[in-house]
Amino acid sequence: MTMPLQGGIRFGRIAATLPVSDMTRALDFYVGVLGFTKTFENGDPVGFAILKQGEAELHLTLQPGHCAAPFNVAHLMVGDVDALHEICRQQGLRIVKGLRDKDFGLRAFVFEDPDGNRIDVGQPLG
């Protein structure tokens, strides 16, 4: 049986950390294509970076031998899912699940970033 948290623990932000095998390529994609801003980096060469875009925060960690997981590693809510789908298509990224309206109230799709990390993207319907 799970015990409820005691002491009024409050949780703050939580950010997905994506492993990438090539930091330059990942930054080119997330900053150059998706418009994230790099707010922090560590290492020489860079082995860790924090990116922000609107309310989204994403951490990248350099893992040269990275093999992508066969499941979604992040969920991203956006204001224009159709536009992001088109950007992913134009970039030649693999679309794992096509763009469609879901019965749970989202228009959504899943794509793989340049390192094969699967990102589930959604926009509320209506």
Q: What is the CATH superfamily name and number for domain 16-124? A: 2,3-Dihydroxybiphenyl 1,2-Dioxygenase, domain 1 (3.10.180.10)
What pLDDT, in 10s, does the model give residues 49-92? 999 999 999 999 999 999 999 999 999 999 999 999 999 999 99
Q: Is the pLDDT of residue 120 over 90?
A: yes
Sign of CA dihedral 45, 93, 32, 41: negative
Q: Where are the alpha helices (DSSP H) in 1-118?
A: 23-27, 81-90
Residues in the chain: 126
Q: Are 118 and 68 within 8 A, CB to CB?
A: yes
Query: E strand or H helix at 49, and its extent?
Result: strand 48-53
Question: What pLDDT is recorded for position 11?
Answer: 85
Q: State the pTM of this model.
A: 0.88
What pLDDT, in 10s, does the model give residues 1-19? 566 666 788 888 889 999 9
